[in-house]
Chain A
Amino acid sequence: MAARRAALVVGVLVAAVIVQVSVLAPLVPTAVVPDVVLVVVVAVGLCSGSTDGAWAGFVGGLLLDVAPPADHLLGRWALAMAIAGFLAGTVDRGSRPSWLSDAATIGATAFVGLSVFALTGLLLGEPGVTLAAALPVVGLAVVYDVVLGLAIVPAVRTLLARAEPAPRVRW
């Protein structure tokens, strides 16, 4: 990842953390909040491949791990999101993106990411995490994330393309 793109992605991730924690969390009536950071990570993976996706996931997850209301063990979101970003990058994107495949990818990767986070909590014996409590929360969050992702993925795609215009290839 070129330095400029990396800086851009980190900037977007910081903004995503703030939006998720300070803007969306109080606005959304249910306690489950759309995972803005996760969706941005998946979008980066979708647009620039699994290496960048994994990196973005690690950095974004780390930010979410240390941002103030967080109280869980450091590195749990980093782990979950690195996997989600990597998975998003392995999807064969085809020559042109379609919103249907985007939605499917976001849904699947969000489910994996959230489940990995919940499972690490379960394994490490973090308070409040039970399988029964996790399933509805993860399900609702995946729905939120797909809806949010349909808006964010195109935005990230535009942003990344603008940061480093792809060289035109003539066949």
Chain B
Amino acid sequence: MARTRTRPDPEPRRPRTVLLVLLLAAVALISIDLTGAGSPARTVAGAALGPLESGANRLLSPFGVDAFATRDDLRDKNAQLEAENARLRGMVASSDVDRTRLAEYDALASYATSADIETVTAHVVGVGSAQTFRRTVTIDAGTTRGVRRDMTVIGPDGLVGRVISASPTNAVVLLLVDADSVVGARLGAEHELGMLRGDGSLSGTGRLQLEALDRTAVPKVGDTIVSWGSRDGVPYIAGVPIGRVEKVVESPRDETAAVTVAPYVDFSALDTVAVVVGERSGS
């Protein structure tokens, strides 16, 4: 053993005691946090480490390594979507039956540009890894810009998630796809109510599971899902597009249907998001 050490220890140390003490300390921390007393530590750490994360992310972008999505990509996508939108609009307008749905699509399309809500624009600067089994991101806007807990976060495509904690310069957003995230939803033209749950998968295959409150109201594939909204817009404001019904598996025996929703937002390529800091005047 002595031959293997290049540097003899000045005093004999007891690694096992050290480990035991550290493990007990960690267990103590866990139990302290279980009581809910750990949030000040997170706020302090957010204030100290958040700007570093923003800085590291800013350093990345001049090199063209805009990690989340390049502007050209977004522009292409935008043009593509506009074309598709125009095509859909033409298709829908030609059919009388679907005129109501056109109005809905119009509302959705104008949603992002509507001036009714006051938003703060922010960039995603940090992403929680899958090893932690939570789907959270850090954004570079905090309490100094009016971002607080339980505020709705939207992206150019639709609902992204909600703020779960905020430090002066940064905030943590719980994404819709998180397994613990539940959001009330309205589906289709009938405005049936339901609950959407994430499946914890961040990649393009991430889907949301819909649970309709009225079990007889089975949505159709292609129906649009928008957020239900709650009183005072906490934590989600109403009417934000969330996704499209992708698959409906009906179970005739107990009259229920497993509804899979494909979210509009590409959660693995989040870049610019907007935090809704002011209430919507309408609806």
The answer for the CA separation of A61 and B38 in the assembled complex, in Å, is 15
Interface residues of B toward A: which range?
35 or more
Considering the complex, give the chain A residue whose CB is closest to the CB of B180: A127
- Determine which of B49, B178, B200 lies in contact with A66 in the assembled complex, contact meaning CB atoms within 8 Å: B49
> Considering the complex, which residues of chain B in the window 165-202 have a beta carbon less than 8 Å from any beta carbon of chain A?
165, 167, 170, 172, 174, 178-180, 200-202
The reply to whether B133 and A169 form a contact with Cβ atoms under 8 Å apart is no
The reply to whether A33 and B26 form a contact with Cβ atoms under 8 Å apart is no
The reply to whether B133 and A121 form a contact with Cβ atoms under 8 Å apart is yes
Cβ–Cβ < 8 Å partners of A19 in chain B = 56
The reply to whether A68 and B49 form a contact with Cβ atoms under 8 Å apart is yes
A95 is an interface residue with CB less than 8 A from chain B: yes
Cβ–Cβ < 8 Å partners of A169 in chain B = 6
The reply to whether A74 and B29 form a contact with Cβ atoms under 8 Å apart is yes
Cβ–Cβ < 8 Å partners of A117 in chain B = 131-132
Considering the complex, give the chain A residue whose CB is closest to the CB of B52: A18
The reply to whether B130 and A127 form a contact with Cβ atoms under 8 Å apart is no
The reply to whether A71 and B136 form a contact with Cβ atoms under 8 Å apart is yes
Selecting from B105-113, B121-129, B235-243, the interface stretch reads: B121-129
A152 is an interface residue with CB less than 8 A from chain B: no
Would you mind naming 11 contact pairs between A and B with Cβ atoms under 8 Å apart?
A25-B127, A58-B22, A65-B29, A69-B126, A71-B136, A74-B41, A78-B26, A79-B27, A95-B3, A117-B131, A137-B130
Question: CB within 8 Å of B: which residues of A?
Answer: 14, 17-23, 25-27, 29-33, 35, 49-51, 54-55, 57-58, 61-63, 65-76, 78-79, 82-83, 86, 89-90, 92-95, 114, 117-118, 120-121, 124, 126-129, 133-134, 137-138, 141, 164, 166-167, 169
Told that A51-B13, A71-B134, A78-B26 touch, could you supply 19 new A-B pairs with CB distance under 8 A? A14-B49, A18-B52, A22-B60, A31-B202, A31-B203, A49-B15, A51-B15, A67-B126, A70-B42, A71-B164, A75-B32, A86-B15, A90-B15, A92-B4, A95-B3, A128-B200, A129-B133, A138-B131, A167-B7
